[in-house]
Structure formats: C-alpha cells, structure tokens
C-alpha cells in the first residue's frame, strides 16, 4: 500500500510539474512582442519534445544510472535495464527492496519533468533572436548532458556533492540543481547572442504585449510548483512524509506571496505606478528562493526567504539592465540569482536547534551520528557545502553553455538574420504568419 501511494503521489506531482510548461509558454509569449508569439510557443513545445528524447537516450543514465562513478551515471541508456523477466519470460517492471517495490519508470517520469523544466528556463532568456533548429539542438545538449550531471552530483546518492565536506548539499527541490543550472545557462546564451535589435535605443517597443498571458502563466507556474516542491518528498507512504509535504506546501505558498507583494511594493516606490509584470516575477522569485530550503525551514523563515528573494530579484534585474544584458523574461534574475539565494538560505535558515544542530535532508529530525545523537557544530560546514554547490553549478553549466552558444555563433547558426528580426519570426518563418488574427 505504501508503494502504491508513493507511485500515485509521484505520478500526480510529475504531471503538475509537466503542466508548468504551459506556464512557461504563456509567460514567455506574453512578455515578448506579438510578432514573435508563434515562434516562442513553438520553441517551448520543441523544448519538451526534444528534451524528452535527450532524457531518454542519455540524460537519465547520466543522472541516475547506477555504478560507482561519483561524476556520472553509467547505466540506463535508452531505458535499458528498466525491466526484468521472471523464469517464464514475463516482464517484471519493479525494483524491490524489502517490502517497497517501485518501478524504475516512476523516477524516470518524475525526474523527466524536472529536467525539461530546467531546459525551458533557457528558452525565455534567448527569446526573439535565436534560430529554432539551433535552440532545439541546445535543448538536447541541456537535457542529455548539462543538467543530468548536476543531478548525479547532488541528487543521485552516488555523486560527490552528496556527501561533500561530510555533510553534503541540501537542495530539497532544486533552487541550485534545477533553477541555477537553467538561469546561468540562460545568462550565457543571452550574453553570447547579444541584445535584440533596438532593445536599448527604443525600450518602449519591448514591453510585454499581453499581460493576461503573463498573469495566467504565473498562476500556472505557481500551481505546478506544488508538484515541484511537495513532490520532492519522493513519496507519501507514511504520516511523517505527509506532514513534511504539507510543511513544504505551506512554505512554498508563503514565500511566493511574500516575494510577489514585496516586488510589487518596490516597483511602486520606484515607478509610482502599479507594475503587474513585476508582481508576477516577484511571485516566481519567491518560489525559486524557497525551492531549496522548503523542506528544512519553519514558516517564519519561509516568509523571510521570500522577502529577501524579492530584493535579490529586483537588484539583479536592475543590474542586468545596467550592464545592457537583454533577458526578455528576466530568467536569469528569477532563476539564477534567486536560485543562488535559495541554496544559501537552505544553509542559513535550517530549523535545527539554534546554530548547533543541522537538519538538512533529515526533515523534522537532526542529522545524527552513528550512535543516534545529533551532530553538533556543523552549520558552518553545511553552509560551505552550499557554496560549493553554487560554484560547481555555475562552473559546469555556465561554461558548457557558453561554449556551446559561442561555437554556434562562430558557425553562423545561432542568431536569426537582421531582416527576420525586423519583421518578426512569425511572418518570416511560420504558417500562419500571425499568432493572433487581429495582431499588428
């Protein structure tokens, strides 16, 4: 019964995370110009399809494949080994340990949703000027190589970050492993691509063309986040796990609301006008900030994490504009900078007794010694492990993404032609030529 409940829980939560793609698609489309709406939608759809193939062919094996390799997994390519056969030759799709039986496909599906979500973050950062086939190729690299290795290091139970400094990293649902990986990769892409033509000379032309889509996308993402964070309990087979999932859901809700209203107030102070787009990104900033610490902090801490995350987002957004880095949806400030903050917050706000005990992955209990006593004086070490996670993700994902985009640029296969950028990708490359029958 416990295994059945776990399977039901992860299938449901995986579906919720998958629905986040609708949110990403609507948010990105609404934030860009109407003349590129069809192209943005296509890119999000292609991202999921190509990303799925990449995860099946290589990604799952590199991320969660078994073996003693602490850098990369080595089994499970193309779903190999997901089934066994009994003496009669019948298929046995379960991997059993004691009384707990789980199909390998269950974790493949749940982690697939996370993988493709991480890749979609890059889509928003490079919107309106990247070639479609080029982005599809990059999505395959992201889902088959870049993201899976980060997962192996931190989440597989075999990677070197899992027990680094004898404490290991704490990233409950992926502020660093998912969001920072996507955010820093998106930053690399938008820097190599360069700004959209006229972005800094006529900024009024680049305002979101459809705020209803932006708001709908934000609500869809917030909804899907209840699969992202509570689902990362990876089960629902007992009361303690259920209580932790409820705690995670409450923390997620508080941080989202706090981040949203804080950015809304900041923007009003700066502009003396209501900024709905800022409110939406503030909600997302709060969600990203709480994703790593949602399973080891109290609700008051979740409020503080969302509050600080709002300032992290606003400051980093202003920094990118100051540096004239063109990120159409603020993917890097939301997912990259707030992802960094979320990883640090998991170490700073851990709900252990004072600064003496550290809980991390242990949930409601402390990290314990072999004799069952609580480990003490490891908070500084735990925070050091969090810093190392940040550094490794930036170094790996940022470097490989920058190299990939730089090679494509050198090859002349990265950016669309100037005349295409001028008239819009929809008119140049799509049928029908307009996403809206009445659009300009």
CA 27 to chain centroid, in Å, comes to 15
d(CA 324, CA 198): 12
Q: What's the angle, vertex CA 382, arms to CA 380 and CA 387, rounded to 5?
A: 95
Architecture of the structural domain at 2-429: Orthogonal Bundle (1.10)
Query: N- to C-terminal Cα distance for the chain?
Result: 57
pLDDT in the model for residue 100: 56
Where residue 101 falls among pLDDT bands split at 50, 70, 90?
A: low
37, two tokens = 């709406």
* pTM of the predicted model as reported, rounded to 2 decimal places: 0.95
pLDDT in tens, 268-285: 999 999 999 999 999 999
d(CA 27, CA 281): 10
pLDDT in tens, 339-368: 999 999 999 999 988 777 899 888 898 888
pLDDT in the model for residue 321: 95
User: What is the residue extent of each domain of the chain?
Assistant: 2-429
Round the average pLDDT of the chain to a whole number and report it.
92
> What would the DSSP string read from start to end of 301-369?
HHHHHHHHHHHHHHHHHHHHHHTT---TT-HIIIIIIHHHHHHHHHHHS--SSTTT---GGGTTS--B-
Tell me phi and psi for residue 394, to 5 degrees. Answer: -65, -45
d(CA 233, CA 104): 17
Tell me phi and psi for residue 249, to 5 degrees. Answer: -65, -40
Q: What's the angle, vertex CA 304, arms to CA 295 and CA 13, rounded to 5?
A: 35
Q: Percentage of residues in the chain with pLDDT exceeding 70?
A: 97
Where residue 37 falls among pLDDT bands split at 50, 70, 90?
A: very high
pLDDT in tens, 169-196: 999 999 999 999 999 999 999 999 999 9
- What is each CA distance from 405 to 87, 117, 143, 394, 425, in whole angstroms? 51, 20, 15, 16, 20
């Amino acid at each position: 019964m416990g295994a059945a409940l776990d399977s039901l829980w992860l299938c449901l939560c995986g579906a919720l995370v998958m629905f986040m793609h609708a949110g990403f698609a609507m948010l990105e489309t609404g934030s860009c110009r109407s003349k590129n709406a069809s192209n943005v939608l296509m890119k999000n759809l292609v991202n999921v399809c190509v990303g799925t193939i990449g995860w099946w062919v290589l990604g799952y094996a590199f991320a969660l494949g078994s073996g003693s390799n602490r850098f990369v997994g080595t089994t499970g390519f193309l779903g190999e080994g997901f089934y066994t056969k009994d003496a009669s030759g019948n298929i046995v799709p379960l991997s059993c340990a004691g009384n707990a039986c789980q199909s390998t496909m269950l974790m493949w599906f749940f982690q697939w949703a996370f993988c493709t979500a991480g890749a979609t973050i890059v889509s928003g950062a490079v919107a309106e000027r990247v070639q479609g086939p080029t982005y599809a190729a990059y999505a395959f690299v992201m889902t088959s190589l870049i993201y899976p290795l980060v997962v192996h290091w931190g989440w597989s139970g075999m990677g070197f970050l899992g027990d680094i400094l004898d404490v290991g990293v704490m990233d409950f649902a992926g502020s660093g492993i998912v969001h920072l990986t996507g955010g820093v990769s998106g930053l690399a892409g938008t820097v190599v691509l360069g700004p959209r033509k006229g972005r800094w000379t006529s900024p009024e032309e680049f305002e979101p063309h459809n705020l209803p889509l932006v708001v709908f996308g934000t609500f869809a993402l917030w909804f899907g986040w209840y699969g992202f964070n509570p689902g990362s309990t990876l089960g629902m087979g007992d009361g303690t796990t259920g209580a932790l999932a409820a705690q995670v859901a409450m923390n997620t809700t508080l941080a989202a609301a706090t981040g949203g209203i804080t950015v809304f107030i900041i923007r009003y102070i700066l502009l003396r006008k209501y900024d709905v787009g800022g409110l939406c990104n503030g909600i997302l900033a709060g969600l990203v900030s709480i994703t790593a610490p949602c399973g080891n902090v109290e609700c008051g801490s979740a409020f503080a994490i969302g509050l600080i995350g709002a300032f992290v987002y606003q400051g980093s957004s202003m920094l990118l504009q100051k540096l004239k880095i063109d990120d159409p949806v603020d993917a890097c400030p939301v997912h990259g900078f707030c992802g960094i903050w979320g990883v640090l917050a998991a170490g700073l706000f851990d709900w252990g007794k004072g600064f003496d005990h550290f809980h991390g992955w242990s949930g409601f209990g402390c990290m314990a010694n072999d004799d069952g006593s609580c480990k003490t004086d490891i908070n500084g070490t735990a925070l050091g492990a969090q810093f190392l996670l940040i550094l490794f993700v930036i170094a790996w994902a940022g470097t490989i993404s920058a190299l990939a985009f730089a090679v494509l640029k050198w090859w002349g296969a990265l950016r669309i032609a100037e005349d295409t950028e001028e008239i819009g990708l929809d008119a140049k490359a799509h049928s029908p030529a307009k996403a809206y029958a009445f659009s300009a």
